[in-house]
Structure 1
Amino acid sequence: MSETQDPTRYEPSEAEPEVFARWEAAGVFDSDADGDPADSYSIAIPPPNVTGALHMGHALNGSIQDVLIRLNRMRGRNVRWTIGTDHAGIATQTKVEQQLAAEGTSRQEIGREAFLERTQAWRRQYGGTIIGQFRRLGVSAAYDDERFTMDDGYVRAVQEVFVALFEQGLIYKGTRLVNWDPGSRSAISDLEVEDREVTDKLYEIAYPLSDGSGDVVVATVRPETMLADVAVAVNPQDERFAGLVGRTVTLPLVGRELPIIGDDYVKTDFGTGCLKITPGHDPNDFEIGQRHGLESLSCIDEAGRITGGFAADFEGLPVAEAREAIVAALRAEGRLRGEEEYTHTVPFSHRSGERIEPLLSLQWFMRMEELARPAIDAVRDGRVRIHPESQKRRYLEWLEEIRPWTLSRQLWWGHQIPVWYRRKDGAVPADPQEVLDAPLDDVELHCGLEAPDGAGWVRDPDVLDTWFSSALWPFATLGWPDGTPELRTFYPTSVLSTARDILFLWVARMVMMGLRFAGDVPFRDVYCHSVIQAPDGRRMSKSLGTGIDPLDLIDGGPRPPVFAKKPGQDAGAFPAYGADAVRFGLLAMSSTQDVRFSEEKIAQGRQLVTKLSNAVRFAVGRLAEAPEAARAGAVVPRDGLARVEDRWIVSRTERIARETAARIDEFDFAKAALGLYDFVYGELCDWYLELVKGRDPATDPDLARVLGHALRRTLQIAHPVIPFLTEEAWAWLGADADGLLAASRLPEPDDAALDPDAEGAIERVIAVITAARSWRNAANVPPGPVLAARLEAEGYDADLREHVARLARLQLAPADGDAGDAVTIVVPGGQLVLPAGEHVDPEADRARIAARRANVEKQIAGLEGRLANERFVSRAPAEVVAAEREKLAGLRDELASL
């Protein structure tokens, strides 16, 4: 037995790394690539960015997946948990470019090949941080088979998919509106866009009617884009503008004639009711333009400067300067009719922090309708089940309205698009960029895994959106396109656990690609876990002072500023809770809705670890006194148990094993964790260990057999949630001969272990003892004195009465004759009567109950009024409303008992 296996102490910081090393040395995380997916259980971890570090979302999702993996490993399933990282195009390139800038150089100066070498070197040095942190959390994944989206095999898979989709006519190059990030000089995905609330000026600008009969006043927060206006729109139902549709206006500062069109999109209650239409710089305007066959013009280039030659005075100005200059020019011409502050949400790049510029850009796109239909059918017919149900509706709604996917990114780090260009006239220019800059009509394309033969071919410099390569993750990590044993054994995978914000960007695309290329859905169940917010309800963010590092919870570290009682005050430090406590707390917090971080739940996890370790230490000492034959087995005793408390704990252990497993299978991790806590803390430790006090294991073989069995089963039940302590305690109990707990096999459900009669009997005992103790507390009667009492109730034999008397500190007398003036406490099957005496004052008790009843009735009235207030119910956080309703239900139950 190692030092950390000493049952007299348990220190998570010492034990957890040593336990993890034992698991790895024993090959617990290994899998056998020989079998059928129906007999296997597999998960592909959502690959974190190679640049990343563990945050609360990772920690929650890692804990969820590990619970599923450990439970099914112990069920005897052939388990594989694929772990790896995503190359994270923009994030990684930004890190390396920052490094180069600090050295006084840039990627353009060192060239593409040298830059990619530097990026690979950066990845080798820093890219494994988050994988090491997952190990600290206890994640039991296949580390020996770690995957990376830029590995050679993965690159080949990505290129084969691209080429196939190109040849099928689903991938094409064209000009459409994209999210352009001026900071990274690249188109970016929707996920890399975040909405921020900003205050701009809303300007009212008069566009003169071309016939000179008046003006049409439009409202806009972006006057600089008016240079690319192609129309003015009004709502055809708006009586104010009846007769305007079909006429034209003249664009101020430019002189271009614009049609006035009618479109139902225009809001009659926003601004002036007239909308300038700029399809080249606004996604909604782009859709309007498509409906009306309007031209799309651009007046802002990829560097965020005015372009297009529409107005020489503003050409080349940065957007912000152009806005000021254009407003000044409009004011000088008398075209500016009003301006006011206007607060609205605006898209910003999550990566560079700059405001997104919707731009018409020549990019690679993918048609999605043909791929979306099978992905819709897979969810509708139940081949893919999405939990909770509300996320299924969002998935379907998004796919039914899906638009072309912008695939290309103007980066160097990533999967370079496998397309080559050559001039149709055969000329080979000295500068390859001339080929890339040539119009598409003047070049021929080749899409393939290798460069084509012949001179003059130039490869497309762009790379693919990271979501394209990660869409292949469930099958590419198993060796596709080769028919590997891993692919045959573990695809489709069993479950995907992920955040709901990538349900469309990643989950839906994995379903599409899995059906198209791997021949089946990529997973059977999708669980969308909650987002854990800061304690004050804001999003977790280091920059906001609300982010919590999970390792600071595990090992101890500074609390973020959000925990400070006053602004600027030191928030102190977290104690070292240990990985088990953090896992438990996160699971206990989890929900189908977003939840606020609760340090109390983490502390509750530590209490569970402490309670269970103390219980096992107690048992080790008691079992040492028992005959070896009595303490050897961990199976349910088959020759009958005389004591009701023994039959009760055996039954309750079997039942909690079933309930915990069922809740995990149903993705109800909070109930699984909290139910486990209640069983260990309450039934096993607070009740069973109390009920058996005074019994001698040296002369009572049943005690040793039942205690050993109950604790071993409890450790198995709890292992998926708190794996480190349970593994250590397994060794303390002398289970080394059975191997590691993580690799042990859960016993099959055993109906013979269930004893409803014993459960009912001990439930009645607990209810009587709890009622008596509650009365003592309410009546300020100290716990020490033994009180005279009569248990006037059915269902209590001599053994049960003995338990009640001992644990409730009562002297039970026969229920003969009249007890006189007494306190009566309702209990299951009848009543507990406490005759008047030194510590029992029935008159004072009646007064106390009356006062309490009045107080409860007052609280109930207040809560009923509050919950009847529609304004409170609609505006208060959901968890606050739920807590108030729960409090009301509890008060009503208390009133009924009074």
Structure 2
Amino acid sequence: MSELPKTFEPGPIEARWYAHWEENGLFRAERNEAEPYTIVIPPPNVTGSLHIGHALDNTLQDILIRHARMQGKDALWVVGMDHAGIATQMVVERQMEERQDKRTNYSRDEFVAKVWEWKAESGGQITRQLRRLGASCDWRNERFTMDEGFSKAVLKVFVDLYERKLLYRDKRLVNWDPGLKTAISDLEVETRDVQGKFWHFRYPLEDGSGHISVATTRPETMLADMAVAVNPEDERYKALVGKNVRLPVTGRLVPIITDEHADPELGSGAVKITPGHDFNDFEVGRRAGIKPADMLNMLDGDAKVIQTADGLIPDDLLGLDRFDARKRVVALIEEAGLLEQVEDRTVATPFGDRSGAVIEPWLTDQWYVDAETLAKKPIEAVRSGDIRIVPKTWEKTWFNWLENIQPWCVSRQLWWGHRIPAWYGPVLGERGDQTFKQDFAPAQKTFVAETEAEALLLAREYYGSKHQVSIADSRDAAFDGFLKGGDTVHLWRDPDVLDTWFSSALWPFATLGWPDNAEPTLSPGGRGQGEGAPTSERSLEGRTPSPQPSPPGGEGAKWVAKPGSELARHYPNDVLVSGFDIIFFWDARMAMQGFEFMGERPWKTLYLHGLVRDAKGQKMSKSKGNTVDPLGLIDTYGADALRFTLAAMESQGRDIKLDEKRVEGYRNFATKLWNAARFCQANGIGASKTIEPPQATLPVNTWIIGETVKTVQALDLALAELRFDESANAVYQFTWGTFCDWYLELIKPVLSPLPLTGGDQGEGNDAAETREVAAWVLDQILVMLHPFMPFVTEELWGAIGERPYPLILAKWPMPDARALDPEAGLEIDWLIRLVSGIRTARSELNVPPGAKLPLHVRGAAPGTSARIERHAAAIQRLARIEAIAGSEPAGGAAQIIVDEATFILPLEGVIDIAAEKTRLAKAAEAAEKERDSLAGRLDNPSFVERAKPEAVEKARADHAEKSSDAEKYRAALARLS
């Protein structure tokens, strides 16, 4: 046993213990025979740094994994990072710009090599910061979504989905980010209200008989208009349907069509249709029979005007930025006398969440996953209870999104990431001649394979012996080779990479060694191994099969983990802890891929926590200046205090209002525990010699054993239900209130007998029993608190006595109801209620803290009288009572009722009773007045509906506070007789 320092300093303790845990491999206590328990970390971006949301997310996971580890389970917390395609490429390119350099000065391979260099030097800062938080991840098996094994899994999934006809190339509109020059998902688009204009134009009818009016917030897009739509029920335009209008500027003739998209109540009721540059118009165009390949495109990747396929855009507009083109188009229409009016309007405008550029709907060829098909099993899994979502309220969001899901665009126009394993070549004609379309993609022959060698095998089978096949560096090089003629066919690889979320969707099983430690299974009606059939539809005669063939396509195709592998033991995972904001980005997509490739759910429970907001409930943002740096809080208060704050405030379905005062309060809690351990040390209380509760006879000891058991039961139940706030508060109340404030105070006379009357004195066996019980209870507290506050508990565990193992590997308490002693519990509960009542009366009535008062008792039953006698010394010491008498006092007094007995404190001469009554009455009236005023405001529907949510919430909190104050003052007034 080493003597604890007087002052608790978390910094040195945290650094020392984390290094010890990690260096000794204590985060991964491999227990191959034990029940597995698995969590996968939501992989943070390699570019990221720890923010308060990460701190919450990882604290909750660490609580669960440490709890499972102490329960003796084979606890595995999979850790790793995401390569973050867009974010990482942006970081590296910005650094290059600072050196007056740019990506295009290098070949693709050279640039990717620079990204790897950056990753080695600067990437992964967040994993170092997670260590500061105390995250007990399996660092020895850290994964990265671009590591060799994971990349292999990504390519296999792409190829298999392609063969199962669940992944395809298509021409559709995407959210194009002109700043990043790549497609991004709907979820990466931020919509902001921007002050703009609403232009009304006249489109003349082809026959010169009149015009039709349309309105738009993006006039430049009329350069690619292909129709004007009116509602089929709109009587005003029925005679015009089928006629053509001649567009201003371009002179293009476009038809007037009908579509439900046109709202008769909005503007003129007629809308211009630009299917190549508007998502709604794209669908209108398809319904009108316009094929995506025929839809006009008027912008390039920089959002500058290019010539449309019909060549009708005037030359002076070509090359203009879209917003400059907007001004020029409006000017030309105005010059033509076709501008009717311009309105000021607030326009909901899409922006890229990373680049800040205005997003442009752009018609382009991309790779898509059939998300609608993949979504069916995740929907059913939640509906049947196979996957439990906590809180349950998020199920509606899950269903709404998955039941209306659109094709998932998985290609990105970047250099950093998993390059799409697809190669293209010319199509063979009937005579075996090559035909080639220079406009790329769907018209070309596509070869999808995991490796270049396999792609060549596929190509050689397709082109036959007449042609040689080689790989060109680019599409342009392949086209040049085609123009030169000859027998050689030149393939080129797709230049795009996969969406980062495509790879992270495989996280629950690819991190566990898939596909190397799994075997493909048969599917109904499909072909599989063991039947003399090829290993997959991609198999070629004379080809060397890959070590892990793809399972056959079709319903039910899946992989099964090899017995004894990590995958077999730890898939499916037990729980996924995730912010609700990535339920679409990541959670649902993991469920899709888990069911498709493993044939079952990726995790049993999905826990979705809220956002961490500032103390006023506002969302944190740099622009508001209200962000909180978790590392700064750790520096000031310690990781334990921050962790406990986040856990104690994490209430299912609610956001967290983080107030630094709460963190400071839980730092005080850690100090309270520290001082309690020092008290125990000073009184000969060290490490417990037993895991089981000691034998006890003193009521105070049997009571504290029972309270410990009840706390363990409450804690286990709360953790099982993922109620982190209830679990933290249960151990907090027990530690601070029950153990420190009551038990240690109640046993002081036993440990150090004083010449007081009553039965609290203890000698010999009583003192030995009490030290043994106190040591056991303190041990249980350290174990229960360890998942929440790992550092201070580990330090105290080792300091108060010799241990055969560190606390991180200690056994979790097993609550035994046989340890409960109802009689002792009732007796100590009575004592606590009595002392608390006396203390409250003294405080409310402004009795001087140092004043010792006599206590008179009226109406006590024999059992109560016996209790008073047994605990007289404790009552006198803890409630500052000089003597206990049975006679009634004269004059003013305070009354405390506990059960059937009335306890009376004479106050004559101690306080000014009349003045105190006046003070309490005024205070009660003031509190009641404020309470009623707030109640009136809250009862006003206008206030509740129109006021800011934080104002309504504050009014409710103030009302509750004033109601409590009023009750307190009235109760104090009633005590005065």
Common topology (TM > 0.5): yes
Among 434, 451, 458, which residue is 2:492 paired with?
Answer: 458
Counterpart in 2 of 1:703? 770
Give the aligned partner of residue 220 of structure 1: 216
Cα pair distance change 1:853/1:101, threshold 3 Å: closer
CA distance in 2, matches of 1:407, 1:865: 55
How far did residue 873 of structure 1 move? 2.6
Aligned pair partner of 2:722 in 645, 663, 667: 667
Counterpart mapping for 1:188-337 below 5 A: 188-210=184-206, 212=208, 214-235=210-231, 248-266=244-262, 270-294=266-290, 296-307=295-306, 308=308, 309-312=311-314, 313-337=316-340
| In structure 2, C-alpha distance between the alignment counterparts of 1:808 and 1:831, rounded to whole Å | 16
Within 5 A, what are the aligned runs for 1:61-460?
A: 61-210=57-206, 212=208, 214-235=210-231, 248-266=244-262, 270-294=266-290, 296-307=295-306, 308=308, 309-312=311-314, 313-425=316-428, 437-438=439-440, 440-449=442-451, 450-453=454-457, 454-455=469-470, 456-460=490-494
Once the 2 structures are TM-superposed, how far is the Cα of residue 104 of structure 1 from its aligned partner? 3.8
Deviation, structure 1 residue 67 = 0.3
Residue by residue, what CA displacement relative to the aligned partner does 1:69-93 show, whole Å, maximum 9, x if unpaired?
0011001111000100011111111
Structure 1, unaligned runs of 5 or more = 427-431, 556-575
Offset, 1:246: 5.5
Change (3 A) 1:637 1:799: farther
- Residue 473 of structure 1 and its aligned partner are, at CA, apart by 0.5
Q: Which amino acid aligns with 1:665?
A: A
Q: Secondary structure at the match of 2:749?
A: coil
Deviation at 1:802, TM superposition (A): 4.0
Once the 2 structures are TM-superposed, how far is the Cα of residue 270 of structure 1 from its aligned partner? 4.8
- Asked if the contact 1:422/1:435 (under 8 Å) is kept, the reply is no
Measure, in 1, the Cα distance between the counterparts of 2:827 and 2:13.
40
Question: Could you give the per-residue CA deviations for residues 26-63 of structure 1, whole angstroms, max 9, x where no partner exists?
Answer: 32112437358xx2111110001111111111111110
C-alpha contact (below 8 Å) 1:182/1:303 kept by paired residues:
yes
Q: Which residue of 2 aligns with 1:570?
A: none
* CA positional deviation for 1:110: 1.6
Q: Give the Å deviation of 1:892.
A: 7.2
**Larger deviation: 822-831 or 781-790?**
822-831
Give the aligned residue type for 1:164: D
Deviation at 1:253, TM superposition (A): 2.2
Q: 1:185 to 1:40 in 2, by over 3 A?
A: same
Moved more, 93-102 or 603-612: 93-102
Mean CA deviation greater in 479-488 or 503-512: 479-488
Conserved 8 A contact 2:927-2:965: yes
Displacement of 1:446: 4.0
Aligned partners of 2:929 and 2:211: how far apart in 1?
Answer: 65
CA contact 2:213–2:270 (8 Å) conserved in 1: yes
1:672 positional shift: 2.2
Contact 1:165 1:171 (8 Å CA) reproduced: yes
Superposition deviation, residue 20 in structure 1 = 0.9
Give CA-to-partner distance per residue, 1:96-116, whole Å, 9 cap, x none: 222333444333322011112
Distance 2:283 2:830 in 1: 69
Distance (whole Å) between structure 2 residues aligned to residue 895 and residue 215 of structure 1: 78
**Correspondence list, 1:464-863, <5 A:** 464-483=498-517, 485-542=565-622, 544-555=624-635, 576-591=636-651, 592-623=653-684, 632-635=688-691, 637-642=693-698, 644-696=699-751, 699=764, 700-734=767-801, 736-792=802-858, 793=860, 796=864, 797=867, 798-811=869-882, 813-816=884-887, 821-840=892-911, 842-863=913-934
Write the letter of the residue equivalent to 2:124: G
Residue 948 (structure 2) aligned to one of 873, 876, 879: 876
Aligned to 2:45: 49
Q: Report SS of the residue matched to 1:451.
A: helix
1:290–1:805 CA distance, 2 compared to 1 (3 A): farther
1:673 offset after TM fit, Å?
2.2
Does the 8 A contact of 1:280 with 1:297 survive in 2? yes
Task: Give the distance between the partners of 2:966 and 2:243, measured in 1 at CA.
Answer: 69
The Cα offsets for residues 104-141 of structure 1, whole Å up to 9 and x where unpaired, read as 43333220111121111111111221111111110001
Q: Following the alignment from structure 2 to structure 1, what is the Cα–Cα distance between the partners of residues 916 and 105?
A: 88
- The 2-side partners of 1:208 and 1:35 are apart by 80
Tell me the alpha carbon deviations over residues 588-637 of structure 1, each in whole angstroms, 9 at most, x when there is no partner: 3323222332112211221111111111111111126xxx9xx7524455
CA distance in 2, matches of 1:496, 1:471: 13
Q: Give the counterpart letter for 2:185 in structure 1.
A: S
RMSD: 2.8
**Contact 2:841 2:894 (C-alpha < 8 Å) held by counterparts:** no
Instruction: Give the match for residue 558 of structure 1.
Output: none
The SS at the match of 1:178 is strand
> Does the residue aligned with 1:173 lie in a helix, a strand or coil?
strand
Following superposition, the deviation at residue 524 of structure 1 comes to: 0.6
Q: Is the 8 A contact 1:150 1:415 kept in 2?
A: yes
Q: 1:738 to 1:64 in 2, by over 3 A?
A: same
* Structure 1 residues 605 and 739, CA gap change in structure 2 (3 angstroms): same
Letter of the 1:742 counterpart: I
Q: Counterpart amino acid of 1:401? A: N
Contact between 1:636 and 1:753, CA under 8 Å: does it hold in 2?
Answer: no
Q: Residues 713 and 815 of structure 2 are in contact (CA less than 8 Å); yes or no, is this contact kept in structure 1?
A: yes
Instruction: Give distance in 2, aligned partners of 1:105 and 1:128.
Output: 24
| Structure 1 CA distance for aligned equivalents of residues 396 and 503 of structure 2 | 26
Aligned AA for 1:609? Answer: A
The CA distance in 2 between the partners of 1:712 and 1:33, in whole Å, is 24
Q: Is the 8 A contact 1:245 1:262 kept in 2?
A: yes
Tell me, in whole angstroms, the C-alpha distance in 2 between the residues paired with 1:461 and 1:436. Answer: 16
Which residue type is aligned with residue 657 of structure 1? V
Question: Once the two structures are superposed, what CA deviation does each residue of 1:800-853 show, in whole Å capped at 9, x if it has no partner?
Answer: 454333222224544446866533334444433233521155544544443344
Distance across 2 between alignment mates of 1:582 and 1:277: 55
For 2:937 and 2:437, locate their aligned partners in 1 and report how far apart those are by CA, in whole Å: 71
Name the % identity.
Answer: 42
Deviations 1:226-245 (A, max 9, x none): 22223334455667767665
Greater CA drift, 255-264 or 354-363: 255-264
Conserved 8 A contact 2:927-2:963: no
Bigger shift: 436-445 or 490-499? Answer: 436-445
In 2, Cα distance between equivalents of 1:219 and 1:55: 44
Shift of 1:880: 3.2
For structure 2, the 5+ residue unaligned runs are 458-468, 471-489, 518-561, 753-762
Shift of 1:173: 1.0
- Which range is displaced more, 263-272 or 91-100? 263-272
